[in-house]
């Protein structure tokens, strides 16, 4: 029996449903942020992040900071590029536009490489762009939450290393860490930034980053100071190193309750082999996508290789809008999200299938949601 009050199943692409034990960790009694018990909890959470990102390189550095995924962009823009530098932003939806805005805020010139909605920039186009200009870093949204488009990180990394070896590879993993395979060392990634409330399965409020030794070195060898005080690798690096070494340390007060919840969720995630976790997300995603197709509906991401495994963005039938469809789904106990990509926001809905809703065999909310989607559309007059 769940300890949570009855509530509609939250199946948006984040925040997701949380496990009972994770939510209970949120109400941990108050502890000093520099006392031995909490230092141990925080240090263990950082060490577990190394396992989640599959990195054994001791130069890799995890960061857990109060904030949101968006704050991760400030970390990248304010530390890994300098005023006047060029960066290349691969665009697969809303979040690339915003990341580019963030760069511009710090005086960094962001060139966007765009693809049609539902698609991703092809490797030959990326190669061409990289050969035309010197980019300090390249960013890619692993899964764009606005479109459900999946990017290919390993092939991209090989390309960057071959064509422009000095360019750092930055992965926006807000909607992918925990539901898509990420091999930090093997794929030679420099930064993955993410947030707590999606497939990591911990309530919102934490910005989480993994930075390579090369990225840290880049932030150290700047010719100008970092562009942010709160979002500064320099200010947080000794703090994270101290927590992981079991030593109290202070720059700004972390959130003990959120870190406890993160510790619980990471412990759960790492209790099964990561390969099994990603396989299970793929399997459930295939089931959702097959059901969508059977209903005669199309996805924004229309090629199988472009499709995320933790969410599905679904075009509504012609003439239907999210405000017609979402309330009737809510009455059936299922919360989906509306569209977010500005050009087509009124034409599609988003179905998140990540974390405990996928991994906990006692939960049946995804099967229920599939049924509800069909029923809700039928009741609204749609004939598959």
DSSP run (H or E) holding 188: none
The strand pairing partners of 338, in sequence order, are 349
Q: Which is nearer to a copy of itself, 212 or 232 (CB)?
A: 232
Helical ranges in the chain per DSSP H: 20-26, 36-52, 69-79, 94-105, 123-132, 153-163, 213-220, 233-244, 256-269, 274-294, 322-331, 356-359, 365-379
Nearer to a copy of itself, 251 or 280 (CB): 251
Distance of CA 342 to the CA centre of its chain: 20
CB of 294 to a copy of itself, least distance (A): 27
CB closer to a copy of itself, 71 vs 370: 71
Residue closer to a copy of itself by CB (options 256, 376) is 256
Instruction: Answer yes or no: are the C-beta atoms of 156 and 169 closer than 8 Å.
Output: yes
Rama region for 128: left / alpha / beta (φ>0; ψ in -120 to 50; rest):
alpha
Minimum separation from the CB atom of position 83 to a copy of itself (A): 11
Chain contacts with a copy of itself (rule: CB under 8 A) = 4-5, 7, 10, 12, 14-18, 23-24, 26-35, 66-71, 73-74, 77-78, 101-102, 104-106, 195, 197, 203-205, 225-232, 250-258, 335, 337, 340
Reference 150, options 194, 90, 191; nearest CA is 90
Structure tokens at 295: 């209903």
Task: Give the shortest CB-328-to-a copy of itself separation in angstroms.
Answer: 15
Task: Please give the structure tokens belonging to residue 379.
Answer: 């009741």
* Bond from prior residue into 193 cis (ω within 30 degrees of 0): no
Q: Measure the CA–CA gap between 45 and 40, rounded to whole angstroms.
A: 9
Q: How far is the CB of 105 from a copy of itself (least distance, A)?
A: 4
When the beta carbons of 285 and 357 are compared against a copy of itself, the nearer one is 357
Q: Positive or negative, the Cα torsion across 10, 16, 22, 27?
A: negative
The residue (of 104 and 283) whose beta carbon lies closer to a copy of itself is 104
Indicate the residue among 160 and 259 with the shorter CB distance to a copy of itself: 259
How far are the Cα atoms of 25, 77, 202 from residue 29, in angstroms, in the given order? 9, 36, 18
For the bound state, the minimum distance from the C-beta of residue 357 to a copy of itself, rounded and expressed in Å, comes to: 10
Cβ neighbours of 346 (radius 10 Å):
12
Angstrom distance (rounded) from CA 202 to CA 19: 9
| In the complex, least distance from residue 348 CB atom to a copy of itself, rounded to whole angstroms | 16
Q: How far is CA 227 from CA 43, 54, 119, 160, in A?
A: 27, 30, 33, 26
Q: How far is the CB of 220 from a copy of itself (least distance, A)?
A: 16
**Nearest residue (CB) to a copy of itself, 121 versus 254:** 254
CB of 25 to a copy of itself, least distance (A): 8
Cα torsion angle, 73, 251, 258, 208, sign: positive
- Whether 220 has a binding-site annotation, put simply, is no
Binding site feature residues = 350
Binding site as annotated, residues for substrate: 350
């Amino acid at each position: 029996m769940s300890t949570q009050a009855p509530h509609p199943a939250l199946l948006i692409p984040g925040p997701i449903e949380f496990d009972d034990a994770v939510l209970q960790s949120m109400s941990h009694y108050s502890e000093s942020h520099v006392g031995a018990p909490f230092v141990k909890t925080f240090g263990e959470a950082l060490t577990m992040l190394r396992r989640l990102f599959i990195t054994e390189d001791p130069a890799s550095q995890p960061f857990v900071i109060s904030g949101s995924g968006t704050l991760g962009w400030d970390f990248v823009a304010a530390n890994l590029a300098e005023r006047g530098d060029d960066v290349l932003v691969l665009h697969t939806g809303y979040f690339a536009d915003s990341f580019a805005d963030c760069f511009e805020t710090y005086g960094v010139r962001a060139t966007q490489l765009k693809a049609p909605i539902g698609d991703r920039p092809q490797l030959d186009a990326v190669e061409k762009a990289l050969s035309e200009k010197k980019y300090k870093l390249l960013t890619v949204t692993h899964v764009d939450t606005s479109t459900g488009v999946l990017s290919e990180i390993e092939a991209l990394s090989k390309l960057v290393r071959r064509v422009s070896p000095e360019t750092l590879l930055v992965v926006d993993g807000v909607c992918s860490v925990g539901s898509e395979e990420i091999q930090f060392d093997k794929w030679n990634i420099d930064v993955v930034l993410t947030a707590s409330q999606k497939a990591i399965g911990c309530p919102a409020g934490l910005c989480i980053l993994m930075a390579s030794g090369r990225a840290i070195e880049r932030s150290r060898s700047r010719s100008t100071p970092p562009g942010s005080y709160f979002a500064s690798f320099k200010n947080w690096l000794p703090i994270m190193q101290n927590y992981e070494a079991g030593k109290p340390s202070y720059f700004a007060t972390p959130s003990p309750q959120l870190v406890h919840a993160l510790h619980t969720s990471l412990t759960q995630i790492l209790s099964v082999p990561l390969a099994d976790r990603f396989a299970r997300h793929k399997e459930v995603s295939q089931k959702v996508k097959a059901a969508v197709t059977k209903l005669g509906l199309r996805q924004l991401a229309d090629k199988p290789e472009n499709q995320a495994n933790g969410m599905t963005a679904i075009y509504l039938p012609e003439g239907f809008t999210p405000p017609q469809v979402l309330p009737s789904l809510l009455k059936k106990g299922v919360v989906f999200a509306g569209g977010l990509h500005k050009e087509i926001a009124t034409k599609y809905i988003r179905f998140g299938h990540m974390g405990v809703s996928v991994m906990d065999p006692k939960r049946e909310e995804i099967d229920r949601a599939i049924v509800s989607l069909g029923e809700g559309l039928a009741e609204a007059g749609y004939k598959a």
